[in-house]
Chain A
Amino acid sequence: MTTGFNSIRTEIEQPQAWRVETRTRLSGAIAVVAIVAVAVLAAAPVFVSRGVVQDLFFILTMLTLAQNWNLLAGYAGLISVGQQLFVGCGAYALFGLVILGGLDPILAIPIAGLLAMLVAVPTAFFSFRLYGPYFAIGTWVIAEVGRLLFAQWKMLGGGTGTSLPREATKDMLGLSLLQDWFGMRASAAADALAYWLALALATLTIGLVYKLLRSKQGLGLAAVRDNENAARAIGVDARRLKTAIYLLTAFLTGVVGALIYLQKARISPDAAFSLTDWTAYVVFIVVIGGIGTIEGPILGVLVFFLLQNAFSNYGSWYLLALGALAIVIMLFAPRGLWGLISDRTGWELFPVRRLLKGGPPIKTDKGGPHG
Chain B
Amino acid sequence: MPILELTAVSKSFGALVVAEDIGFSVEPGEALGIIGPNGAGKSTLFNLINGNYPVASGTICFDGRDVTHQPPMQRCLSGMGRTFQIPQPFERLTVFENLLVAAAFGAQEKESQVTDLCADILVETGLIAKANRPASALTLLERKRMELARALATQPKLLLLDEIAGGLTEGECRQLVATIKRVHQRGVAVIWIEHVLHALTAVVERILVLNFGRVIGIGDPETIMASSVVREIYLGMEV
Contact = CB atoms under 8 A, between A and B. Distances in A.
A322 B108 CA distance: 45
A219 B111 contact: yes
Interface stretch (B1-9, B86-94, B207-215, B216-224): B86-94
Given A226-B93, A232-B73, A219 B129 contact: no
Contacts of A5: 126, 175, 178
A226 B91 contact: yes
A235 B174 contact: no
A359 interface: yes
B119 A359 contact: yes
Nearest to A9: B123
Interface stretch (A12-20, A175-183, A267-275): A12-20
Interface stretch (A35-43, A124-132, A305-313, A362-370): A362-370
B196 interface: no
A222 B92 contact: yes
A2 interface: yes
Nearest to B150: A234
B76 interface: yes
A180 to B, nearest CB: 49
Contacts of B175: 1-2, 5
Contacts of B178: 1, 5
Contacts of A359: 119, 128
B137 interface: yes
A34 interface: no
B132 to A, nearest CB: 5
B33 interface: no
B195 interface: no
A223 B93 contact: yes
B50 to A, nearest CB: 6
Interface residues of B, number: 56
B120 to A, nearest CB: 7
Nearest to B111: A216
**Chain B, interface SS category:** helix
B138 interface: no
Interface string A341-368: 0000000000001111001001111001
A212 interface: no
Interface string A1-30: 110110011001000001110000000000
A233 B101 contact: no
Interface string B84-109: 10001111111011101110111110
A354 B96 contact: yes
A364 B129 contact: yes
A233 B90 contact: no
B101 A223 contact: yes
Contacts of A229: 52, 88
B129 A225 contact: no
A371 interface: yes
B58 interface: no
Contacts of B108: 235
A222 B123 contact: no
Q: How large is the interface on A (under 10, 10 to 19, 20 to 34, 35 or more residues)?
A: 35 or more
Nearest to A240: B73
B154 A235 contact: yes
Contacts of A365: 129-130
Contacts of A237: 73
A364 B108 CA distance: 30
A354 B133 CA distance: 11
A292 interface: yes
A233 B94 contact: no
Interface string B150-179: 110110000000000000000100110010
A226 B116 contact: no
B82 interface: yes
Nearest to A17: B116
B231 interface: no
B76 A18 contact: no
Nearest to A354: B97
A227 B115 contact: no
Given A225-B92, A365-B129, A234 B137 contact: no
Nearest to B72: A232
B133 A371 contact: yes
A321 B30 CA distance: 63
Given A2-B171, A219-B111, A354-B94, A233 B76 contact: yes
B126 A4 contact: yes
B119 A18 contact: yes
Interface core residue of B91, B100, B105 (most chain A CB under 10 Å): B105
Contacts of A223: 90, 93, 98, 101, 105
Given A222-B101, A354-B100, 8 more contacts: A20-B100, A216-B111, A234-B101, A234-B150, A235-B105, A356-B131, A364-B131, A368-B134
